[in-house]
Structure 1
Amino acid sequence: MQVNSIYTPQRTSEDKIKNPNTLDENDFYQILITQLQNQDPLDPLKPDEYVAQLTQFAQLEAVNDVKHMFENLMLYQTSINNLLALNLLGKEVKAEGDIIHLEKDKDATIHYQLLDDAQKVSIHIYNEDGKLVRTIEVGAQSEGEQSIIWDGRDDKGHHLPSGDYTFSVTAIKDGLSVGVNTYMVGPVTKVEFDNNKLYLTIGESKHLVNLEDIIEIKQ
């Protein structure tokens, strides 16, 4: 996989002596680059935050082409994301999603979070064609993160083939639905690009996970 080299804005040979109490374009580049290098990888600087800071810079005398500067900074952000994705290879992550991968004759773990206590929890598992193949009645569970083991069998007790399956969780309390978040958990096994966006593969699943859907990196 080819990763773009890190883009670093360069000073030109036409740099002029400036008033030490003023900021020019190169100063502003360095400020934003420092912010990018020290940002939280799970909560990177948002485009609207770029725009807000670029708008401030637009008021400085040294600005010549804000649009060009914005494009350069986005290239730099892409390079940072590329390196971040590579560093995730082999690490266990938790991502938003409803995919579970099943290996033949093996168990699979289903991860989810209940947003309130529930008196009844049911797990529904579907094959790649969207057909319901298994329902697991869990019973009562407390608010918080939960996981259950699926034995890889359908409702008739037959072992299902290897592949990706989707799941949904139904939780009920006092006759009302309880909110549920579903997750994919496993090691990052591949990093790839599609339409200029970064995606990760978790475990043996063929499902591509958007880098933005990663919510936890386990050490």
Structure 2
Amino acid sequence: MTTTTDSTSSSILSQYAVSNASKTTSSSSSSSTSSTETMGKDTFLQLLVTQMKNQNPLDPQDNSEFVAQLAQFSSVEGINNLNDTVTTLAGNYTSSQALQASALVGHSVLAQTGSAVVNTTSGITGQFDLASASTDATVKVYDASGNLVKNIDLGSQAAGTVSFSWDGTDNEGTVLSSGTYKFVASATVDGSEVAQTTYLPATVTSVTVGSTTGDMTLKLADGSSVALSKVKTIGS
């Protein structure tokens, strides 16, 4: 490659750097978010064509070097196309997730939550998962004011899913009013009391779609929110 070729290529790179620096400076002075421009396939192709136009006819560019540069250009273009494809797929995935999640509105789900709206005339059934066998498992029910209204003694339990039910009455057997109640489960494992994560039935009232391809968020009837991945089962 001749000195002329190197000089011309360096000139193009310098012009690109100055243009990019100008855009970056202008962008940083703005209150809006800035984006950094990177060298793309068009700049790469311009450099390649410039090299070919300014090569020494008495000492032309080696064929193997020319093929290698074409391969590099092909790789750059392929990566750009792959990025576009992945972006499109990510957008389609988010839309598909949102459509599936929106179908849950109005339906009952068994979700990872500590509170639920309870119709005390029909009661409620929940679950928690034991990693190890327990000699004593209990569920405590609190009203909206934080008062303990019910102790549910489940006794010893084997490892696995443990179901519990509350009939809507307090410790004296009086039926309480319907409303939001909190459930706290615990189990004694190897002599130590271990808190358990409860799964309670709730009605989905709305779905929130994140700005990125993340999890959908479900808003439940009690006003709490839970990620779609925290839903254990879906009812009618």
Q: TM-score, normalised by structure 2?
A: 0.54
Distance in 2 (alpha carbons) for counterparts of 1:191 and 1:120: 38
Question: Is 2:224 the partner of 1:207?
Answer: yes
Q: Is the 2:102–2:207 Cα contact (8 Å) retained in structure 1? A: no
Give the deviation of 1:87 after TM superposition: 3.8
Question: Is 2:96 the partner of 1:80?
Answer: yes
What SS class does the counterpart of residue 176 from structure 2 fall into? coil
What SS class does the counterpart of residue 154 from structure 1 fall into? coil
- Hey, which of these two has a bigger chunk of strand by percent? 1
Task: Tell me the amino acid that sits aligned with residue 213 of structure 1.
Answer: K
Give the deviation of 1:147 after TM superposition: 1.3
Give structure 1 stretches of 5+ with no counterpart.
1-58
Distance in 1 (alpha carbons) for counterparts of 2:116 and 2:217: 17
- Hey, which of these two has a bigger chunk of helix by percent? 2
Q: Is the 1:114–1:178 Cα contact (8 Å) retained in structure 2? A: no
> Cα 1:67–1:126, aligned 2, differ >3 Å: closer, same or farther?
farther
Q: Is the 1:190–1:200 Cα contact (8 Å) retained in structure 2? A: yes
Name which structure has the greater RCO, CA cutoff 8 Å, separation 6+.
1
What SS class does the counterpart of residue 62 from structure 1 fall into? helix
Question: Is 2:163 the partner of 1:155?
Answer: no
Task: Tell me the amino acid that sits aligned with residue 208 of structure 2.
Answer: F
Greater CA radius of gyration, 1 or 2? 2
Residue-by-residue CA offset, 1:20-72 (whole Å, 9 max, x unaligned): xxxxxxxxxxxxxxxxxxxxxxxxxxxxxxxxxxxxxxx64334488776654
Distance in 2 (alpha carbons) for counterparts of 1:154 and 1:178: 24
Give structure 2 stretches of 5+ with no counterpart.
1-74
2:77 to 53, 61, 64: 61
Task: Tell me the amino acid that sits aligned with residue 200 of structure 1.
Answer: L
Distance in 2 (alpha carbons) for counterparts of 1:167 and 1:87: 27
2:206 is matched with: 191
**Amino-acid identity (%):** 26
2:184 to 157, 168, 186: 168
Q: Is the 2:105–2:207 Cα contact (8 Å) retained in structure 1? A: no
1:140 to 153, 156, 171: 156
Q: TM-score, normalised by structure 1?
A: 0.57
> Cα 1:158–1:78, aligned 2, differ >3 Å: closer, same or farther?
same
Distance in 2 (alpha carbons) for counterparts of 1:86 and 1:195: 13
